């Protein structure tokens, strides 16, 4: 491509509110332009990168035996009512009406459509297993779109759905998809981790997220330094404490603690540390309030709490008025000692081995010191309730856990029969009986990958593309072509040769001053840069610089071809 014939649209100034590197650089490089909140136009440059990602995803999906198709982005309300998600999906679902006042939504995902397709197309177990995929635009009306295409409302996604007669068959395809995803992200040149993920209300235990490691990531993940254990912090567990509860040494003592509400306050007042303090949270249960007790230095994991039988699907902190009515104290002064019998006391494993601890007094401005389980406070049950912290023992007993930030770019999920059941998607098995199909679903955020890659690979000058994602592999920069015909001719010749070698080449024939030209080429992250100049022509060499190397060096044309492989 001759740059003079392309629409390169780099800019010097971008809005002050572009916060993260990928958003800033995509705007500066002119890869995207915002149309409205959460909606972006992909410029020719941006699209080249997006297509690179798409191609690799497509190749690996095909290799893994998936079959490409394309479903409508607009979907009828009826289908979503069948699955029960017209209401359940909430305001994230963009609902629209046609001229006949028929209701539709712009698809945020395609389980309903594919399951409808499957129930019409798949009749026999002999057609299974089968794995359909598409690469398509989705829309989710995010509460707060931000970070450019990282969390846009409209985005490009690869979604695949597999259909099976048995769980074993599903497990096989799931494993194949897991492998395919690993290949995709490896080929893209990204640092990533496959982490165990929470499966939410749907159940089942097979779900992995593929997380690109980056500080700007919106997800927190935990991984072991002694094994391949890795999990989203929502799901991450650790070994239970090795210590058993020490015997009570102190007497229970009621202490006046005016305005001492937070764990921090308590520590200051008693001159102790948070790991000696018991934190009691009251949440709404299925049947009245439930007390959740944690060590003061630990945080509640709401996903784990939501799975307790005492709770509805989610853990919701009780409002102040309810707490006051049930306990007679404001939040901050609640504790397990003397709590009404109707309130179950679920204690985190680490909190359960505390002895002589401090906890709320169930009356405003009082705490107990020297409190002990069993003697002073009952335990309904001990559970794993907390968020893992740096240094926790890995649950497989190998190594300890570390925390990192990640950007979720892929998700594989054993769906089970939820949608097939709801929509009545069945096939006849070898006994002639109707069987509800078992499904898996597998998503990749194609547009998000572009942002994630930049997040991971950039420097002061701009983007540093992995080879596989770069819009062009090599840029030929020409110094002063208009006044020095020999330089111009040499550059043209090199450009043709590179093209003949199969290298994707960008010829910067704009005739800009060198500084402006180099700045652009670095900003848009071309992996290899070659400069053709009068100086180099005289020496019979080319000046070569790799994007991620600090210095340029003189090389011959043969060396250049060898470098580009």
Partner RNA sequence: CGGGGUAUAGCUCAGUCUGGUAGAGCGUUGCGUUUGGGACGCAAAAGUCGGGGGUUCGAAUCCCUCUGCCCCGACCA
Q: Name which of 67 and 202 has its Cβ closer to RNA.
A: 202
Least gap, CB of 329 to RNA (angstroms):
23
* Contact between 280 and 335 (Cβ < 8 Å): yes
Least gap, CB of 173 to RNA (angstroms):
20
Q: Name which of 311 and 339 has its Cβ closer to RNA.
A: 311
Q: Name which of 142 and 297 has its Cβ closer to RNA.
A: 142
User: Which DSSP helix (H) or strand (E) runs through 511?
Assistant: none
Least gap, CB of 274 to RNA (angstroms):
20
**Distance in angstroms (rounded) separating the CA atoms of residues 231 and 237:** 8
**Distance in angstroms (rounded) separating the CA atoms of residues 478 and 510:** 8
Least gap, CB of 16 to RNA (angstroms):
3
Strands 401-416 and 366-371: unpaired
Residue 360, Cβ density class (10 Å: 0-12 exposed, 13-18 middle, ≥19 buried): buried
Q: Name which of 175 and 516 has its Cβ closer to RNA.
A: 516
SS3 per residue for 145-197: CECHHHECCEEEEEEEEEEECCHHHHHHHHHHHHHHHHHHHHHCCCCEEEEEC
Least gap, CB of 96 to RNA (angstroms):
15
Q: Name which of 85 and 140 has its Cβ closer to RNA.
A: 140
Q: Name which of 368 and 518 has its Cβ closer to RNA.
A: 518
* Contact between 30 and 43 (Cβ < 8 Å): yes
Token code pair at residue 33: 């332009």
Q: Name which of 353 and 470 has its Cβ closer to RNA.
A: 470
Least gap, CB of 244 to RNA (angstroms):
35
Q: Name which of 186 and 199 has its Cβ closer to RNA.
A: 199
The site for RNA (CB under 7 A) is made up of 10-17, 19, 28, 34, 36-38, 140, 142-147, 151-153, 155, 209, 218, 408, 411, 443, 445, 448, 461, 479-480, 482-483, 511-516, 518-520, 522-523, 531, 533-536, 543, 545, 552
Least gap, CB of 515 to RNA (angstroms):
3
Least gap, CB of 337 to RNA (angstroms):
29
Residues 6+ apart with CB under 8 A from 77: 86, 95, 102, 103, 104, 105
Least gap, CB of 347 to RNA (angstroms):
23
Backbone angles phi, psi at 187, to 5 degrees: -60, -35
Residues 6+ apart with CB under 8 A from 520: 8, 10, 508, 512
Closest CA to 494 of 445, 549, 559: 559
**Distance in angstroms (rounded) separating the CA atoms of residues 557 and 502:** 15
Helix 485-500 vs helix 557-564: crossing angle, to nearest 10? 40
Token code pair at residue 456: 């991971």
Token code pair at residue 477: 């920069």
Q: Name which of 156 and 564 has its Cβ closer to RNA.
A: 156
């Amino acid at each position: 491509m001759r740059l003079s014939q392309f629409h390169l649209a780099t800019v010097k100034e971008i809005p002050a509110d572009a916060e993260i590197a990928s958003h800033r650089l995509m705007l500066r490089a002119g890869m995207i332009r915002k149309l409205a909140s959460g909606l972006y136009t992909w410029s020719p440059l941006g699209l080249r990168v997006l297509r690179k990602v798409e191609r690799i995803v497509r190749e690996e999906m095909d290799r893994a035996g998936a079959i490409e198709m394309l479903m409508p982005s607009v979907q009828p309300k009826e289908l979503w009512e069948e699955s029960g998600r017209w209401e359940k999906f909430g305001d994230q679902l963009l609902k629209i009406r046609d001229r006949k006042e028929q209701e539709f939504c712009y698809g945020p995902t395609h389980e309903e459509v594919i399951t409808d397709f499957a129930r019409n197309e798949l009749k026999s177990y002999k057609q299974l297993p089968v794995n359909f995929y598409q690469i398509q635009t989705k829309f989710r009306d995010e509460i707060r779109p931000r970070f450019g295409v990282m969390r846009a409302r409209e985005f490009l996604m690869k979604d695949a759905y597999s259909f099976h007669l048995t769980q074993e068959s599903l497990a096989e395809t799931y494993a194949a998809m897991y492998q395919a995803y690993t290949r995709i992200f490896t080929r893209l040149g990204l640092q990533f981790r496959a982490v165990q993920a929470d499966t939410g209300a749907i159940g089942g235990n097979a779900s992995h997220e593929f997380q690109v490691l980056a500080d700007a990531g919106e997800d927190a993940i935990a991984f072991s330094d002694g094994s391949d254990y890795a999990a989203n912090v929502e799901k991450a567990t650790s070994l239970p404490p090795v210590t058993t509860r020490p015997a009570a040494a102190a007497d229970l003592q009621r202490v006046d603690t005016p305005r001492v509400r937070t764990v921090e306050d308590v520590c200051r007042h008693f001159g102790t540390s948070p790991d000696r303090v018991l934190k009691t949270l009251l949440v709404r249960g299925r049947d009245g309030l439930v007390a959740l007790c944690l060590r003061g230095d630990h945080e509640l994991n709401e996903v784990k709490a939501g799975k307790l039988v005492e709770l509805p699907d989610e853990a919701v902190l009780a409002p102040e008025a309810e707490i006051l009515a049930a306990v007679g104290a404001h939040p901050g002064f609640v504790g397990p000692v003397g709590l009404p019998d109707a309130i179950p006391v679920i204690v985190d494993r680490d909190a359960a081995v505390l002895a002589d601890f401090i906890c709320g007094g169930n009356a405003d401005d009082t705490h107990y010191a020297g409190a002990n389980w069993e003697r002073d406070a009952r335990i309904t049950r001990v559970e794993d309730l907390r968020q893992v912290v740096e240094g926790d023992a890995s649950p497989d007993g190998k190594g300890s856990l570390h925390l990192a930030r990640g950007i979720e770019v892929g998700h594989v999920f054993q769906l089970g029969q939820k949608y097939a059941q709801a929509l009545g998607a069945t096939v006849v098995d070898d006994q002639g009986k109707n069987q509800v199909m078992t499904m898996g679903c597998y998503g990749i955020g194609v547009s998000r990958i572009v942002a994630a890659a930049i997040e991971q690979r950039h420097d002061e000058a701009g983007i540093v593309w992995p080879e596989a994602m770069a819009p062009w592999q090599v840029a030929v920069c020409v110094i002063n072509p208009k006044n020095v015909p020999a330089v111009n001719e040499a550059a043209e010749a090199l450009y043709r040769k590179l093209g003949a070698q199969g290298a994707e080449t960008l010829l910067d024939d704009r005739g800009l001053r060198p500084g402006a030209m180099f700045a652009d080429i670095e900003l848009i992250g071309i992996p290899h840069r070659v400069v053709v100049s009068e100086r180099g022509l005289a020496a019979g060499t080319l000046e070569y610089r790799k994007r991620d190397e600090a210095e340029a060096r003189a090389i011959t044309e043969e060396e250049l071809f060898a470098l580009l492989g």
